[in-house]
Amino acid sequence: MTLLNRLAAVALQCLIALDELVQVAIRSPIYLVTGHNLPSAHETISAWVGMSAALGKGWAIEAQKLIDAIFGQGHCARAANHEASVDSPAQ
């Protein structure tokens, strides 16, 4: 792997970490007020939106349309499925 490829890989990981940090920052006040759904530092905004849209939450369905328009159709659903598979215990 070339230096440029390694740099790109590190940059991608930094962007994912930032995404996860922003997701926790957005959800933390909601959790502090309601006590529901402690935010996970291992969940991206796309996964959170995808899971919430699958539950039929209106705000998430609209957010999913925007995110999918930017990152490609099905992005949020794939992120939610990935998160669910990572969090599920080994069979």
* pLDDT single digits (tens) 29-88: 999 999 999 999 999 999 999 999 999 999 999 999 999 999 999 999 999 999 888 765
pTM passes above 0.75: yes
Q: 87, 91, 6: which is closest to 44 by C-alpha?
A: 87
Q: Is the pLDDT of residue 26 over 80?
A: yes
- Structure tokens of 55? 């539950």
DSSP H helices, 1-91, are 3-34, 45-54, 58-71, 75-87
CA atoms within 13 A on the CB side of 5: 2
Q: Is the pLDDT of residue 90 over 70?
A: no
Q: 49, 78, 51: which is closest to 66 by C-alpha?
A: 49
Give the structural domain span for 37.
3-87
- Structure tokens of 59? 């705000």
- How many domains does the chain contain in total? 1
